[in-house]
Structures are given as C-alpha cells and as structure tokens.
Amino acid sequence: MNDMLALDFSNTGYIYMFLIWSIAGFIGAGFAHKKGRNPFFWGILCLIVPMALFAIGGMRAPGEAVPERFREEDDTPSPQ
C-alpha cells in the first residue's frame, strides 16, 4: 500500500533531488551572507540536512520489523 521505505528513483529523479538540495544550499549561503555569518558553513549545512533526514527516515535497526503502516497487504491489489 505505502512503499515509502522502498523508494526506487530513476537517474532523472536523482538529478532533481541534487538540484533541489543544491538550491537549498545556495539559499542558506545567501541568507548567511546577508546576516554576516559564514556562508560556506551554512550552505553545506543546508545541503546536508535534507539528505540526512531523507536517509534517516528509511533506516531501521537490524531485525527491527517494518512499521505497520508501511507493510504491504497481500489481499489488496496495487493501484498501479
């Protein structure tokens, strides 16, 4: 039903994600420069945080069961 943990992206999807995260880094660096902060630090931070949150969302401990809301139900067909 909900395959949020089993994401499969095409090469185009990875390019879009890279562009979005890069834009977030540039915006963070721009705001930091306007406020007199270190734009390199804030640019990198704004670039890495979305990637880290995306990765952490899919992590589970070894042997930990998949949460109930992400389990596939065998009796219902996929809406594809």
Statement: residue 27 has pLDDT above 90: yes
23 in Cβ contact with 33 (< 8 Å): no
Q: What is the DSSP letter of 68?
A: G
Query: What mean pLDDT do residues 36-65 have?
Result: 82
Cα angle 76-79-80, degrees, rounded to a multiple of 5:
130
Tell me which of 5 and 31 has the higher pLDDT.
31
Token pair of 2, please?
Answer: 């909900």
**Dihedral sign from CA coordinates of 12, 17, 18, 19:** positive
